[in-house]
Amino acid sequence: MDLIQNSLSRRDMLRDASCGFGYLALSALLSQSARANTTTQLTPKTPPLPAQAKRIIFLCMAGGPAHLDTFDYKPQITQAAHPGSVFDFKRHGDSGLWISELLPETAKHADKLCVINGMHADTGNHAQSFHQLHTGELLRRRPSMGAWITYGLGTENQNLPGLISLNTSKPATYSSAFLPPAFEGTPIGINGEDMSKASIPNIGSKHLSPKLKRSQLDLVQSMNREHRDLRPYDTKLESVIQSMEMGFRMQSIAPELLDVSNESKDTLERYQVGFKKTVGTCRASDFGRQCLLARRFAEAGVRFIEVNHGSWDQHKWHRRDLRANCETTDAPIAALLSDLETRGLLDDTLVVWGGEFGRPGLVPGNGKDETGHNARGFTFWLAGGGTKRGYVHGCTNDTGSAAVDGKVHFRDLHATILHLLGLDHENLSFHHGGRLHRLTGPKGGKVAKGLIN
């Protein structure tokens, strides 16, 4: 009798089963929707907020540029009792920005620069601060800033990735982490190598004609799609398929962009392409070619381009090595700013310059030539993309050891960059591991509105 009472009636069975059928149908629809969304992930998206910038060129000076010897002038601390700069500063442009003698070409563009002298970070350790600058996190693997931006905006050129990182071996600069693989950046060149020989790895085979390459990929992709269809809930598989299609399309345009031989002699000289200089521990990695490639990729519609120059970690021989780094980067950066302006790109291209922290000043007159790390106060500068021109935002204290006014943390910098691109840092998120993640993290950031036009 109990068995009969606990049995399901035919009506109950149909009712309950229909809910299950509905669930399966809904799951299939959601899977199809997710797959369709993945297919169009890299198409250009209209930002939710008014945007002043369309793309980013990040000039990453890894190692920690000495702010007191470049852009943070402290005339009141040149006495022997206080650390300061051992180099001369002058005012430049109509704005009268103070810039070091080490950067004479960049100084010619003073009226384009928005100098942030109130930067600060959480740690003075290279690896962690570099990671936080790029991902918002000190330790955990997270999407890079460029991956977040590509996730939010897509790319303007469907034959190129949304994120390209030049001259780096650090995944933090281009990793998509838990974001779909379509937003993974493409690294070109490895730290210290000759950029004239740099190429995009595994982009294609020289032994196959374009027609055979397409046939080969079609065969592989047919198997990939069969594999995907057996796993309807794994949307990452579609992202991988789309990434392979992107790789094929890149074969038609990327090699031409990497070949700068069609540039004029004057252009190559202004960017110092091929210029190499090794002084002490500083080795120029054809930085001028990187800057020229950044301009070409920006013109071609790449959303985020990172240019990397290391060896700013100058503990000893500070004067010599800092001068060498400035000589290597000064003219190419000036050429990049000049070309962006004359080609009408600077207004909607945000150029960002800086490293993971700054350095304490030297003590003039005591003969020492060593510096350490300073994450409590340092300098970044921005140009174009809706930022104020010929402007200084914030300041450090009298000794340059800590930001005291107009303070901008890396989280604030990220929030500001996203804002200039028309993205709300609080709403640009991705669900992973049971919670929503953002570039600015759980602590959030504040848009530094004082430096925006």
* pLDDT, average across residues 166-179: 92
The whole-chain average pLDDT of the chain stands at 85
How sure is the predictor about 32, in pLDDT bands with cuts at 50, 70 and 90?
Answer: very low
Residues 6+ apart with CB under 8 A from 44: 153, 154, 155, 156
User: Is a pLDDT exceeding 70 seen at residue 154?
Assistant: yes
Decide if pLDDT at 212 tops 80: no
User: Which of 95-104, 164-173, 359-368 has the highest mean predicted lDDT (pLDDT)?
Assistant: 95-104
pLDDT value at position 158? 85
pLDDT class of 28 with cuts at 50, 70, 90: very low
Give the residue-averaged pLDDT of 239-243: 68
Own/partner contacts of 29-38, CB < 8 Å, gap of 24 or more, are 31/232, 31/233, 31/235, 34/235, 34/238, 35/228, 35/235, 35/238, 38/180, 38/182, 38/235, 38/238, 38/239, 38/242
For position 29, what pLDDT does the model report?
Answer: 40
CATH for the stretch 40-203+251-451 = 3.40.720
Give the model's pLDDT for residue 195: 66
Q: Which residue has the higher pLDDT, 119 or 443?
A: 119
**Which pLDDT value is given to residue 232?**
77
Rounded mean pLDDT, 83-110: 95
Lowest mean pLDDT among 153-162, 242-251, 294-303: 242-251
- pLDDT at 401 > cutoff 70: yes
Share of the chain above pLDDT 70, in %: 78
